[in-house]
């Protein structure tokens, strides 16, 4: 079975390295700051750990990733060649936000990935010096994924599936689709709240979106929506 294109063209040779299934997403995770294997896997939860290990070895072989170890802790880092992929990956994300139909299929909704993305994109500098605990409840999520706690304290963010036993600052009740669409720029919080698919409760509820922000490509998606509405 052929594994390459058999062409000297550098587009073909680059695609042989970067366009294998899951590889662009692994690079996305590394660009987002994930370094340890388990953190990388949280960004690609539907990928098997054995395949993730295989893809990382391949990226090491071609000089995109380098691995370091301190004791039993292993970390993966992008090399200069890997870091040079940042504008390419970002451009792909912005292109998708601008041109791909945003009507998400049910199999594309993943609350675990959604909250992991929120955790790593959170605006830490906007939080008060006191601890903030945000409780998320998704009634339509899979069993075991309906309750989450985001704990922000001393400049550190933890995402927990088990109740940390702390006083909750805010409660967010949502469908998986509603919060995904708000995060991705397909709806505003007000648009999701109007039909009752999203609710935020707590004294500081008005601060939630200021704290969380939105997804990396949400502004591009919002601009595309406004452009389409204006052209309609």
* Residue 30, pLDDT score: 97
Which residue carries 């550098």 as its tokens? 10
In the chain, residues under CATH classification 1.10.10.10 are 10-84
CATH 1.10.1780.10 fits 10-84, yes or no: no
pLDDT in tens, 70-107: 888 899 999 999 999 999 999 999 999 999 987 899 99
Sheet with 198-201, edge to edge strand ranges: 156-160, 147-153, 132-138, 170-174, 198-201
Residue length of the chain: 232
Tokens of 188: 């505003």
* Residue 229, pLDDT score: 86
Mean pLDDT, rounded, for 127-141 = 96
CA distances from 152 to 36, 81, 91, 220 (A): 21, 34, 31, 28
Which region, left, alpha or beta, applies to residue 129 given φ > 0 means left and ψ of -120 to 50 means alpha? alpha
pLDDT of 1 > 60? The answer is no
pLDDT in tens, 10-63: 999 999 989 999 999 999 999 999 999 999 999 999 999 999 999 999 999 999
In the chain, residues under CATH classification 3.30.1050.10 are 106-223
pLDDT of 2 > 80? The answer is no
pLDDT in tens, 175-232: 999 999 999 999 999 999 999 999 999 999 999 999 999 999 999 999 999 998 888 7
* Residue 21, pLDDT score: 93
The CATH topology of domain 106-223 is: Nonspecific Lipid-transfer Protein; Chain A (3.30.1050)
* Distant-in-sequence contacts of 204-210, Cβ < 8 A, 24+ apart: 204/169, 204/170, 205/170, 208/134, 208/170, 208/172, 210/123, 210/126
pLDDT in tens, 33-42: 999 999 999 9
DSSP 174-225: E-HHHHHHHHHTSS-HHHHHTTTSEEEESTTGGGHHHHH---TTHHHHHHHH
Average per-residue pLDDT in the chain?
A: 94
């Amino acid at each position: 079975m052929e594994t390459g294109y058999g062409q000297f063209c550098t587009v073909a040779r680059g695609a042989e390295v970067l366009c294998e299934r899951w590889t662009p997403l692994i690079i996305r995770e590394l660009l987002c700051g994930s370094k340890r294997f388990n953190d990388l896997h949280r960004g690609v939860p539907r990928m098997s750990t054995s395949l993730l290990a295989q893809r990382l070895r391949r990226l090491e072989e071609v000089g995109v990733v380098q691995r370091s170890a301190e004791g039993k802790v292993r970390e993966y880092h992008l090399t200069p060649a890997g870091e040079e992929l940042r504008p390419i990956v970002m451009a792909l994300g912005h292109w998708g936000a601008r041109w791909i139909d945003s009507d998400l299929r049910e199999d594309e909704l993943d609350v675990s990935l959604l909250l992991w993305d929120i955790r790593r994109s959170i605006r830490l500098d906007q939080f008060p010096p006191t601890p903030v605990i945000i409780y998320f409840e998704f009634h339509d999520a899979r069993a075991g994924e309906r309750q989450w706690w985001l704990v922000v304290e001393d400049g550190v963010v933890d995402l927990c599936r088990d109740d940390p036993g702390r006083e909750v600052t805010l409660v967010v009740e949502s469908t998986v689709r509603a919060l995904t669409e708000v995060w991705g720029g397909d709806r505003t919080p007000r648009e999701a709240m109007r039909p009752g698919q999203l609710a935020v409760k707590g004294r500081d509820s008005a601060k939630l979106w200021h704290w969380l922000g939105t997804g990396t490509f949400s502004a591009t998606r919002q601009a595309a929506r406004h452009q389409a509405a204006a052209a309609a």
